[in-house]
Structure 1
Amino acid sequence: MADHWAAQGHDRPVFSFASSAALARQIESSSAADLYISADHTWTDFLITQGRIDDAGIRTIARNQLVLAANTDAGLADRTGPETTLGATLKAGRIVVGNPDTVPLGRYTRDALDRQGLWQAIEGSIVPAASAQQAVRLVSRGETPLGIIYLSDTVGNQHVATLHRIETTEPIEYLALRLPASAHPDADRFLDLLTSERAAEIFQKHGFTAP
């Protein structure tokens, strides 16, 4: 996305990557930023209640899916077939998931597994991650054999193999908005780009789906 924007003659955007919660807390503390992208509604709702943003400008830019992935060196992909249930695979070892109290990935995971009656059964095997990025790193490095991560984080990642797709209780949506304190002249135009057909093509290339 940054390459496409810069190719149009604009200054290259500066991104700050962290969990939705961490970024929301920074905004709450008056961190200087022009746009905010959240992986769920929880933290945009939080900023609305804090009076930091207005819900009128929130746009859905992409969607994602949950998957149970295994480190490719763990050998689990070879032992998992179409007949293997999600519940059976979850018993194969420690599982990194996002912290459900602070990380959208973790909340989606807990809600999805709880609906299937699987969450309590694996609580003793869970390794909580402080962000979706940390969850991907841990399973990619083999520090845990399994991880529940976003489908988009498996694209181009040769260190993980997708074993199961996990249905969520609600759509996994990415929300973008301009922060009221932003004075950048291109902020609205970049937000428009994020909801354009070109952006949808870029998102789909990286494992996301259109909203």
Structure 2
Amino acid sequence: MIRPALLLALLASPAMADDVTVFAAASLKNALDEVAAGFMRQTGHDVTISYAGSNILAKQIIEGAPADLFISASKEWMDQVEEAGMVERRADLLGNRLVLVAHGAAQPVQISPDTDLAGLLDGGKLAMALVDSVPAGQYGKAALEHLGLWDDVRADVAQSDNVRAALALVATGEAPLGIVYATDAAAEDGVTIVGEFPSDSHPPITYPAALLTGASDDADRAFYDALSDSAAMAVFERHGFTVPN
């Protein structure tokens, strides 16, 4: 016979599972949702993930938003969080590639200083994340400047709050072309990758992950460790991310 006190403890135990709150770059959504689902099945801990541009998330963390982990799409924004004294542990988790996507089916493009990007737009807009603050936009602008193409298209750029919003503009046909990560393009059937930017045309695309000083329990540390285990890496690679050696 189960004693009443023991029965109450058993009934209460699922609600006592430790929660993990993660702030993560929007481009991680599909892969990170899958990693988190596996972690929750295995451990019983709940994982709540807020996705947005890394710039927005970093500012929210610095202003005191209750996050246990932060995964940024750029070292710059992670550096600012660390400089604010809010990083307990940190490691470079993933990499990515920068691509040009088109709405629907389209012919491939060789991206070089000779590319007539303005001509390819044909009066339409080039969708990008915010070029001065969101990592995908910053990488994209850097690549266009390196190739000498920025001045040709800067007046035609339609900027969005994050890379997934830029991807949506192309997928719905509101913009004929966009610059996004390869992983975003792979997650959207409404676009076609027409070209890849040379890796030396922009800074390396790096996703640092951090356990924040506000993390309070073993569940937070367990999820941070799980992000770099072999099971998680297999998920990230399947979604098109590159992983450190």
What's the TM-score once normalised by structure 2's chain length? 0.78
Given residue 181 of structure 2, which amino acid in structure 1 is its aligned partner? Y
CA distance in 1, matches of 2:151, 2:130: 15
State whether structure 2 residue 38 is matched by structure 1 residue 4: yes
**Higher Cα Rg: structure 1 or 2?**
2
CA distance in 2, matches of 1:129, 1:51: 30
Aligned to 1:30: 64
Aligned to 1:197: 230
1:88 is displaced (CA, Å) by: 2.2
Given residue 209 of structure 1, which amino acid in structure 2 is its aligned partner? T
CA distance in 2, matches of 1:116, 1:104: 18
Q: 1:173 aligns with which of 184, 203, 206?
A: 206
Deviations 1:146-200 (A, max 9, x none): 0000100111421000000012432211111111011032111111111111111
Higher relative contact order (CA 8 A, sep 6+): 1
CA distance in 1, matches of 2:86, 2:68: 12
Tell me, yes or no, if the aligned pair for 1:64 and 1:150 is still in contact at 8 Å. yes
Tell me, yes or no, if the aligned pair for 1:38 and 1:174 is still in contact at 8 Å. yes
Q: 1:98 aligns with which of 102, 125, 129?
A: 129
Unaligned runs of 5+ in 1: none
State whether structure 2 residue 55 is matched by structure 1 residue 21: yes
SS at match of 1:163: strand
After superposing the two structures, state which structure 1 stretch, 81-90 or 194-203, moved more: 81-90
Q: For the aligned residues, what is the CA RMSD? A: 1.7
1:89 is displaced (CA, Å) by: 4.1
Tell me, yes or no, if the aligned pair for 1:200 and 1:209 is still in contact at 8 Å. no
CA distance in 2, matches of 1:48, 1:3: 28
Tell me, yes or no, if the aligned pair for 2:109 and 2:194 is still in contact at 8 Å. no
CA distance in 2, matches of 1:81, 1:15: 35
Tell me, yes or no, if the aligned pair for 1:98 and 1:105 is still in contact at 8 Å. yes
Given residue 66 of structure 1, which amino acid in structure 2 is its aligned partner? L
Structure 1 residues 143-182: aligned runs within 5 Å:
143-168=174-199, 169-182=202-215
1:84 is displaced (CA, Å) by: 7.6
Unaligned runs of 5+ in 2: 1-34
1:81 is displaced (CA, Å) by: 4.1
Name the CA shift for 1:17/1:166 in 2 (closer, same or farther; >3 Å).
Answer: same
SS at match of 1:16: strand
Given residue 154 of structure 1, which amino acid in structure 2 is its aligned partner? A
CA distance in 1, matches of 2:95, 2:221: 21
Name the CA shift for 1:90/1:200 in 2 (closer, same or farther; >3 Å).
Answer: farther
Name the CA shift for 1:19/1:82 in 2 (closer, same or farther; >3 Å).
Answer: closer
Name the CA shift for 1:52/1:82 in 2 (closer, same or farther; >3 Å).
Answer: closer
Deviations 1:92-123 (A, max 9, x none): 22101111211000111111111111111110
Tell me, yes or no, if the aligned pair for 1:39 and 1:174 is still in contact at 8 Å. yes
Aligned to 1:66: 98
SS at match of 2:222: helix
Q: What percentage of residue pairs aligned between the two structures are identical?
A: 30
SS at match of 1:208: coil
Deviations 1:50-91 (A, max 9, x none): 23335xx2111111100000010xx5x1xx346686722453
Given residue 9 of structure 1, which amino acid in structure 2 is its aligned partner? T
What's the TM-score once normalised by structure 1's chain length? 0.90
SS at match of 1:2: helix
